[in-house]
Amino acid sequence: MANLWQKLTHHDGNGWWNLPHGPSNELNPPHEGPIGGAWFGNLWQTLTHGGVSHAGAGFYWLVGFLLAVVTLLEVWLFTVEGLGGWYIPILLILSVAKFVGVVAYFMHLRFDHRMFTYFFASAMIIGILIFTIILFVAEHAHQKPLF
Amino acid sequence: MTQAAATEHHEPVENTSTGLNSRKLMMWAFLGSDVMFFGAFIATYLVYRGKSLVGPYPSEILDIPLTSVSTFVLLMSSLAMVLGLHYVKEGQKNKGTIWILVVVVLGAIFMGFQFYEFREFAHEGLTPRTNIFGTTFFILTGIHGAHVTIGVAWMAFMAYGSHTGALRKDNALDLEIAGLYWHFVDIVWIVIFTVIYLISATDGPPPGVGPTILH
Amino acid sequence: MTTKSLKFPQAFPRPKSATGIWSWIGTVDHKRIGTMYGIVSFIWFLVGGLEALLMRAQLASAENDLIGPEAFNQLFTMHGTTMVFLVIMPLSAAFFNWLIPLQIGARDVAFPRLNALSFWIFLFGSILINFSWVTGDAPNGGWFGYAPNSGTTFNPGLGMTYWVVGLNVLGVASIAAGLNFIVTILNMRAPGMDMFKIPIFTWMTLITSVLIVLAMPVLAVAGIQLMTDRVYGTHFFNSLGGGDPVMWQHIFWLFGHPEVYILILPAMGIVSEVLPTFARKPLFGYPFVVFAGAVIAFMGWFVWSHHMFTVGLGPAANTAFSISTMLIAVPTGVKIFNWLGTLWGGNIRLNTPMLFSISFIAMFTIGGLSGVMHASPPTDAQQQDTYFIVAHFHYVLVGGALLGIFSGIYFWWPKFTGYFLNEKLGIANWALMMIGFNLQFAPMHWLGMDGMPRRIYTYAENMGWEGSNLAASIGGLILGIGILVFIFNVFYSKMNKVMAGDDPWDGRTLEWATSSPPPVHDFDVIPQVQYRDDFWFKKYPETISEYYHDDHDQAVPSGAQLDDEVEEALPVVSGGSDDHGHGAIHLPDMSYYPFILSVGIAILGAGFITNTYVVGAGVPFILWGLLGWSMEPVNDPE
Amino acid sequence: MHRVSKLSFPLRPALFLLVPMAIALLAACTPENNQSTFGTAGPIAKDQADLFNFIFWIAAVVFILVEGAIIYISVRYRRRSDSDKLPHQTHGNDRLEITWTIIPVLILAVIAVPTLTGIWEQQNGVPDDQGEVLNVEAIGHQWWFEFRYPNHEVVTSNELHIPVNRPVAFKLESQDVIHSFWVPKIAGKVDMVPLNDNYMWMIGDEVGEYYGQCAEFCGIAHAHMRFRVIVHTEEDFQAWITGMHTAPDAPVAGSPEASGKNLFAANCSSCHSSDTTSPGSYAREVTSQQARWNGWISDIENSGIVSAPNLTNFGQHTTIGAGLKDLNQASLEQWITDPSSIKIGTRMQKHAAVYDTADGTAKLSPAEVSDIATYLLSLKPGSAPAGAVADAGGDVDGADVFAANCTSCHSTGDNTVVGPGLAGVGDRAGSRVDGMDATMYLKESLTDPGSYIVDGFPAVMPEMGHLGTESIEALVTYLKTLK
């Protein structure tokens, strides 16, 4: 607690919200990558030649293939009857997976400086929060009919 | 190295406070801004989903197989984009140029699909003025289409640059920034495809629509 | 190394001259752009003020028929729009432009041409909106443009189309400027200046820019939707076609509340610079002021529905937004207390900038307290859309933002021009503004509590509102005279120059380290920064240990890192602009393309008001601007 | 180093802050003002005022502390002489920061408690223990208020009558733009939003007449969109309800009232109903008002019809122009002659054919105006028992039936109001449907209008079966005479 406090308030604290100093080719530590935990980071570490952004054409083909598969899966789900209430959540999860795939690998966020992730993620977080609130409010915030 | 080269063509490690390239940083900040832009449009669509007072309703008009193909095309253009960037960074000029051209072509095909779709909808009686579905659908996908158009033009410019040799290994960042924009347009479509097409495709008329309000 | 690059045929030679009209049109110098922002927005300030005075004249007595309802509706719509989008935002932008590179020790902003583009788009956008006065069809649906009253069904004229298109054009300018300043502040800092050493005004600019970049797109969406409703007959907010008027309010206020902080945070930053300088003490609790600003900016996103307490969102939503609104008063209070802490024990010099800044705290506190009153939905049910609200936000925006800006004008005028603004006239200006302001807006509090709704062009004699309204109108006149005194002061001081020198106020931040006015290249040598308020501590090295050691938690940052938390010494970051090494100073060359591009955007915008072919006419200019710009090197090869 | 200019400053800035404040405090709020939120006449407004006072005094304490601190510090620590002595260069104090973060939180928590109770008491329905609830539909129009009492089948405009000490539940509606329903002395405002019906409730606990006003900007006549709330004793309220079901006495032939009645029927009655007293007339008025709205919205520029205040028993009203002026012969004549001399922007003046003149004044002679005014002022509950007019027996005159029931939507000329003009309808009727003669077609159209809507007209005509066979026969006979 005291540490956190100091990080937040210190004159020259290198607190977590202080912005990074290093040059852009400094790697994210694998266990601290913005997406996925340690196991995920390690797995992709192997696949991506140690997490450098020049991952190789083969890697991009692989990601592209997986994205294509997910898209096919989505379209197939559309034809499947009887998913009921599961349909929308499954689709949302799949599209989030595609979204993350493109952002993390095609847009290099996974390998790039964390500052870029902060930029994009903060907008995503604020956007998702407020627009979810708006959907909720528009759907449910009405006055109780008195007669 | 001349001054022009020093300022225009950035070195891999930037001489800035954060060590990050200013233009790339700005592109990411702009993408954050665009997140709010599309977020507001998508939120509007979702708030108005299923509130059309008259038809045609999504279930009567959306063509999922067709849009699946165009979605696939746009997704593959992202792959082509990243490959193009990869080869430009490797200094393989011809491969780079070809893949960027593939992006242009796939983007143009996507635009063609969208144009075809808009025309079909208009034939079947759905315009932005028809109902609230038409309004939200056309403006959201139209704004996205405008983004794609800008992206295609930008990529064509890049392909030309790569072809003439103005875009090289040492200023591949120009392409990377354009690529970020292109990928962003793609991820917006990923959300739109799910939200407008797959999820809404079965939406019919809402319960209790009365004819008295619009005539 | 010879490199091949694309060339775009030049219609004009690239501008080179340092004087004359073309040197202004082609300029990419942040100081010149700041000056242009300042002058243009001050002119709009006079226009907006005149609109306010006309309204006050109409309301001075009951059943007055000086101005008809239609003109009155146009006046209050344009007054609000002008003051928010054409005055306070661009006046803040003038300060951003002038000061940010100077405060962070850079030679220009990160994207000088983009900066010029922002200004030109702002200029054309503002002219576009105000052109509606010439056509006699000024916007009349309120600066909030509530649907469906702003739709064509109930508002068939062109006025609201001007308004919505103009706002969209201005939005482009704001977003471009916001992106520019974010990158500038993050990337262009002088060597050694990490984020916790940048001046507080720079911090507030950064936070404001983030808000602009995230909030203006939401306004753009609202604007595009209303525009397509008006121009193409879509149904976004058309209740007859299934659109929901409440949705407009959600989207508009979703932008609108962050906008409030976009307006006030720069003024808070100015005040946070002025108070320490004139109290001759560092800002009290720097990290807390920064953090409070960031918290305000974040929480500002989750309070928008307090503008809609009477819309009927039901008790649950009202409860949630009431609580979030009250909470946002906490970081605001933290700032006020820190300012008081700054003054406490200081050696306070009551010069004009300081008078304005102290008045800022006093007036902003009143606005904040009345804000808490209508954070409570039951009391807001009586206050919403009454003059109580008018009083509240004028205390925040005039008593807050505008006093802060005037404080900044008097404070930095010597830096901008090299000479002081006259102190006696300055005090007269301040006194008249304070008397006029309070006489104008304090009575509005009880006008509101006495049930006078906003936006009414007249009122009956038996309502008991005449005295307060008359007082308010007289106050408005006095406030206006105060502004005239300011204008007189500007000319008087120009003719009777009292030269100021580089550092007239014994300043704290880097802008005082360079000459007044600064050279084109800002700094002969990019400063190396070691401390927060680096310039001050270099002047008074004996105070370093006082600042950095009087709390056991704090450590001297220079030399070896005393902070155990930092694992390794930070790499020295090299500085500023794009110049490499310490050799020759290279500034970006001038360019016409931002101007051409902004002309294209203005024509495009005008096309939505007039007809579609005009939209097409804008496209060639935009393409010309974009292509020329992208192929034009920052510097021509020598 | 160049040092600061040596300007001295004789005035203490604090005084400048205090003078306007002092003036301000001298003029305290006046509860007796017509729309003061302090002189309350109902528990909701009282709760709201109490909560305001509670927050106000807390704010006042904070105000005095903060402004006092500003003044004290500015005076106490201002530079004396020319000393440029450097004060202690403190950087801050964490404990103070925590303190002045937590104290506001606590103060706000104290404010939040009554706030939240207030929200849930006022916005979550009428409490059960408040007595029998009166339901009222309040509808905002540009720029007047319509009030409907669905349980009593009464409709009136601009003057709301409610019983004292009884909860009144409101359904707030709007068809055009957003308005806001506000009676400052009885309850805070709630907006009237198209497509989003709102609900609120209030209790008037003092008999009297109270001012109300639209609080949301709604267009050109926003300032003039006002209304009155008349709080009656229970007996008076019941009497008013009964009165609203009692038709006025028929004017004596040849009197100004009789002339006014005819002029009213000819010039005003397509938009203004004035006879919503008989059974079934409430439903008809609700339908007609919708029809007028549909007629207006389908052709805003050229419509000859627009939603308009119901003038039943108008003589009982105390104001005209939505609460603008006291109602009397002179003000009413002024209103009829040139509404914009009292209220700019009325829809009536824009759309009613009678105002289709160069200067927008009515195409009526002063005598005619006077007759209409006299007639309208004479509209007070008459001596006849409620509902007695409908079938008075004897010969029914088709023209009277038409005037009473049809003129809201149909003219006897060629012009379209809501429905088609009926000139020559007798000739056309026979050829409209094969195998149906004119009489049969007209009868069918009256009793089952849905079957034979003429192309291009909205399907809004109500069924007229409630008029009774005799009236229908007379009406058909009359219609066939129209050339």
pLDDT at C8: 75
With cut-offs at 50, 70 and 90, classify the pLDDT of residue D415: low
Cis check for the bond before B182: say yes or no (omega within 30 of 0).
no
Helix (H) or strand (E) holding C347: none
B108 in a domain, yes or no? Answer: yes
Contact criterion met (CB < 8 Å) for A116 and B82? no
Eight-state DSSP code of residue D120: H
Say if the Cβ atoms of A120 and B76 lie within 8 Å: no
**Chain centroid to CA D396:** 37
Cis previous bond, C276, omega within 30 = no
pLDDT at B1 exceeding the cut of 50: no
The DSSP secondary-structure symbol of D156 reads E
CATH superfamily of D130-377: Cupredoxins -  blue copper proteins (2.60.40.420)
Chains that touch B (3 or more CB pairs under 8 A): A, C, D
At residue C240, the pLDDT reads 81
How far apart are the C-alpha atoms of C235 and C246, rounded to whole Å? 13
| Orientation angle between helical segments B172-192 and B93-123, nearest 10 degrees | 30
Question: DSSP states of C288-324 as a string?
Answer: HHHHHHHHHHHHGGG-GGGGGTTS--HHHHHHHHHHH
Ramachandran bin of D376, using left for φ above 0, alpha for ψ from -120 to 50, beta for the remaining angles: alpha
- Would you place residue C274 in the very low, low, confident or very high pLDDT band (cuts 50, 70, 90)? very high
What pLDDT does D416 receive?
67
Instruction: For residue range D25-68, list pLDDT tens digits in order.
Output: 555 567 788 899 988 999 999 999 999 999 999 999 999 999 99
Helices (H), C509-555: 534-539, 544-549
pLDDT of residue C4: 60
D231 - beta bridge partners?
A: D162, D208
Instruction: Give the mean pLDDT of A9-21.
Output: 38
The minimum CA-CA distance between A96 and chain D, rounded to whole Å, is 34
> At D231, phi and psi to the nearest 5?
-95, 120
Residue ranges of the domains in chain D? 13-76+94-123, 130-377, 398-481
Instruction: State the pLDDT confidence band at C496, using cuts at 50, 70 and 90.
Output: very high
What is the Cα–Cα distance from B202 to B204, expressed in whole angstroms?
Answer: 6
In degrees, rounded to 5, the angle at the alpha carbon of residue C109 between the alpha carbons of residues C108 and C112 is 90
State phi, psi for C90 to the nearest 5 degrees.
-70, -30
A-facing residues of D in 180-199 (CB < 8 A) are: 190, 196-199
Residue among D73, D307, D326 with most chain C CBs within 10 A, to mutate: D73
C538 touches chain D (CB under 8 A): no
DSSP-assigned letter for residue B204: -
Percent of chain B with pLDDT over 90: 63
**CB half-sphere exposure, B168, CA atoms < 13 A:** 14
Q: Are C252 and C161 in contact (CB under 8 A)?
A: no
> How confident is the model over D430-437, as a mean pLDDT?
74
Asked if residue B41 is part of any domain, the answer here is no
Neighbours of chain D (3+ CB pairs under 8 A): A, B, C
How high is the ipTM of this complex? 0.88
- Is residue D138 a contact partner of residue D145, using CB atoms and an 8 Å limit? yes
Confidence of residue D386 (pLDDT cuts 50, 70, 90): very low
Confidence band of D21 (pLDDT split at 50, 70, 90): low
- The nearest CA of chain A is from the CA of C564 a distance in Å of 10
- Classify residue D354 as exposed, middle or buried by CB count within 10 Å of its CB (0-12, 13-18, 19+): middle
Q: Say how far apart CA C551 and CA C93 lie, in whole Å.
A: 37
> CB of A33 within 8 A of CB of A41?
yes
Confidence of residue B209 (pLDDT cuts 50, 70, 90): low
Could you tell me the CATH number of the domain that includes residue B132? 1.20.120.80
Give tens-digit pLDDT for A99-137.
988 998 888 887 777 788 888 999 999 999 999 999 999
Residues in chain B: 215
Residue D474 in this model has a pLDDT that exceeds 70? yes
- Exposed / middle / buried, residue D481 (Cβ in 10 Å: 0-12, 13-18, 19+): exposed
Specify the DSSP element, H or E, that contains B190: helix B172-192
Contact yes or no for D169 and A11 at CB 8 A: no
Mutate which of C185, C198, C313 to disrupt the A interface (most A C-beta within 10 Å)?
C313
Query: Taking all residues of chain B, what is their mean pLDDT, rounded to a whole number?
Result: 86
Residue-wise pLDDT for D169-218, tens only, equals 999 999 899 999 999 999 999 999 998 899 999 999 999 999 999 999 99
Query: CB–CB of D263/D372 below 8 Å?
Result: yes
What is the per-residue burial (b if ≥16 Cβ within 10 Å, else e) of C82-112? bbbbbbbbbbbbbbbbbbbbbbbbbbbbbbb
Name the amino acid, one letter, at D363.
Answer: K
- Here the contacts of B155-162 (C-beta below 8 Å, separation 24 or greater) are B155/B81, B155/B100, B155/B103, B155/B104, B155/B107, B155/B182, B156/B104, B157/C627, B157/C630, B158/B100, B159/B97, B159/B100, B159/B101, B159/B103, B159/B104, B160/C6, B161/C6, B162/B84, B162/B88, B162/B93, B162/B96, B162/B97, B162/B100
Query: What pLDDT, in 10s, does the model give residues B131-181?
Result: 999 999 999 999 999 999 999 999 999 999 999 988 888 888 999 999 999
pLDDT of residue D330 exceeding 80, the answer is yes
* pLDDT tens-digit readout, A130-139: 999 999 998 8
CB within 8 Å of C128: residues ≥ 6 apart:
C162, C165, C166, C169, C602, C605, C606, C609
The model carries a pTM of 0.88
Confidence band for A3, pLDDT divided at 50, 70 and 90: low
- Window D:126-145, CB contacts with A under 8 Å: 126, 133, 135
Measuring CA to CA, which residue among C237, C220, C107 is closest to residue C164?
A: C220
pLDDT band at C32 (very low <50, low <70, confident <90, very high): very high
Q: What is the mean pLDDT of residues A9-27?
A: 39
Does the domain made of D398-481 have the CATH classification 3.90.1150.10? Answer: no
Quick one: pLDDT at residue A22?
39
Interface with chain C: mutation pick from B1, B14, B26, highest number of C CBs within 10 Å: B26
Mean pLDDT for chain D?
Answer: 84
Residues in chain A: 147
Q: How far is D213 from chain A (nearest CA, A)?
A: 22
CA-closest candidate to residue D205, choices D168, D152, D155: D168
Q: B16 vs chain A: nearest CA distance in angstroms?
A: 9
State mean pLDDT over B116-144. 93
Chains with 3+ CB–CB pairs under 8 A to C are A, B, D
Task: Rank A81-85, D141-145, D404-408 by mean pLDDT and report only the highest.
Answer: D141-145
Domain D13-76+94-123 is found in CATH 1.10.287: yes
Confidence (pLDDT) at D225: 93
Instruction: Please tell me the distance from the alpha carbon of residue D158 to that of residue D179, in angstroms, as a whole number.
Output: 14
Distance from CA of B72 to the nearest CA of D (A): 40
| SS3 track for C137-187 | CCCCCCCCCCCCCCCCCCCCCCHHHHHHHHHHHHHHHHHHHHHHHHHHHHH
Interface touch D298/B212, C-beta < 8 Å:
no
Asked whether the beta carbons of residue B215 and residue D290 sit closer than 8 angstroms, the reply is no
Pairing of strands D134-141, D144-149: antiparallel
Tell me if B32 is assigned to some domain.
Answer: no
What is the phi/psi pair of residue A126, to 5°? Answer: -60, -45
First to last CA, chain C: 14
Task: Say how far residue C130 (Cα) sits from the centre of its chain.
Answer: 19
The proportion of chain C whose per-residue pLDDT surpasses 90, expressed as a percent, equals: 74
Domain C24-507 homologous superfamily, CATH:
Cytochrome c oxidase-like, subunit I domain (1.20.210.10)
pLDDT of amino acid A37: 44
C197: CB partners within 8 A, 6+ apart: A12, C529, C531, C532, C534, C557
pLDDT tops 70 at residue D339: yes
Does B47 contact A120 at a Cβ distance shorter than 8 Å?
no
H-helix segments, chain A: 2-9, 38-47, 57-79, 87-101, 114-140
Going by C-alpha positions, the residue among C173, C181, C180, C175 that lies closest to residue C206 is C181
Q: Cα separation of D46 and D49, whole Å?
A: 5
| pLDDT band with cut points at 50, 70 and 90 for residue C336 | very high
Give yes or no for a contact between D418 and D294, defined as CB atoms under 8 angstroms apart.
Answer: yes
Give CA–CA dist B186/B208, Å, rounded: 37
Quickly state the pLDDT bin for C566 (edges 50, 70, 90). Answer: very low
Tell me which residue has tokens 């007189």: C488
Domain borders along chain C are: 24-507, 510-549, 589-638
**Among B76-90, D150-164, D186-200, D439-453, the least confident range:** D439-453
Q: In the numeric block, which tokens belong to residue B32?
A: 């954050």
Mark yes or no for CB contact D201/A143 under 8 Å: no
Q: Nearest chain A residue to B84 by CA: give it.
A: A57
Query: Reduced to 3 states, what is the DSSP secondary structure of residue D147?
Result: strand
Rg of the Cα trace of chain A?
Answer: 21
Q: Which stretches of chain A sit within 8 Å of chain D by CB?
A: 5, 9, 11, 142-147
Cα–Cα dist B178/B155, whole Å:
7
pLDDT band at A15 (very low <50, low <70, confident <90, very high): very low
Which residues of chain B does D294 touch, with a Cβ-Cβ cutoff of 8 Å?
212, 215
The three-state secondary structure class of C228 is helix
Count of domains observed in chain B: 1
How many whole angstroms separate alpha carbon B50 and alpha carbon D51?
Answer: 41
Q: Residue B21 domain-assigned?
A: no
- Determine the average pLDDT of the residues in D413-438: 73
Evaluate if residue C549 carries a pLDDT over 90: no
Q: Is the pLDDT of residue C514 over 60?
A: yes
User: Do A145 and D135 lie within an 8 Å CB cutoff?
Assistant: no
With respect to residue B10, please indicate whether it lies within any of the assigned structural domains: no
